[in-house]
Homo-oligomer: A and B are copies of this chain.
Amino acid sequence: MQLGEAKQEFIQNWGSLGSQWGINRTMAQIHALLLISPDPLTTEQIMEELQISRGNTSMNVRELINWQLVKKHHLAGERREYFSAEKDIWKVFLHILRERKKRELDPVIRVIHDLQQVNGNEKDRDVKEFKVVLHDINKLVSKGDRAMETIIRSDESWFLNTFLKLLR
């Protein structure tokens, strides 16, 4: 397989992986493109490579910057902005984990906590079942939350060497 073909394949796959996990396909494709580019790219180059519009590029690059997966470069004597991706794949993973925890897990934890305050007679089967399920979910989610916190705070070597060797 030749490089151009392999790059295309990689970009398409990264894109569909993203969309299966609720991340905009184009956002994931731009990320893939920047990941495998040795040098930062301009908006124009991204548009050209992925055959997408200026607006689409602008919106998704901004979102990638919010996720801290991509950063802007201002080159001396250059009007255009250049963009590059974080290349350390462990950091990429941590940024995504942190962002999704903040956007999704944290709100869920709040809702579960509120719902556990439901009024009702404990002898009522419906109330009992509801409380049991919420209690169990709360226990698991809290543990997941603590695990994520630990991973987010830890560095790669700790995680890979200590945790994964243990799991083996």
Contact = CB atoms under 8 A, between A and B. Distances in A.
A9 interface: yes
B6 A118 contact: yes
A164 to B, nearest CB: 5
Contacts of A38: 125-126, 128-129
Given A2-B120, A38-B126, A125-B38, A90 B22 contact: no
A114 B6 CA distance: 9
A21 B127 CA distance: 29
Contact of A10 (B13, B104, B134, B167): B134
Interface residues of A, number: 55
A6 B136 contact: no
A3 B116 CA distance: 10
A75 interface: no
Given A118-B3, A150-B167, A13 B108 contact: yes
Contacts of A13: 108, 111
19 contacts: A1-B115, A1-B117, A1-B119, A2-B118, A3-B124, A6-B115, A7-B130, A10-B111, A17-B108, A19-B22, A21-B21, A22-B22, A36-B126, A37-B129, A38-B125, A88-B136, A143-B164, A151-B167, A166-B166
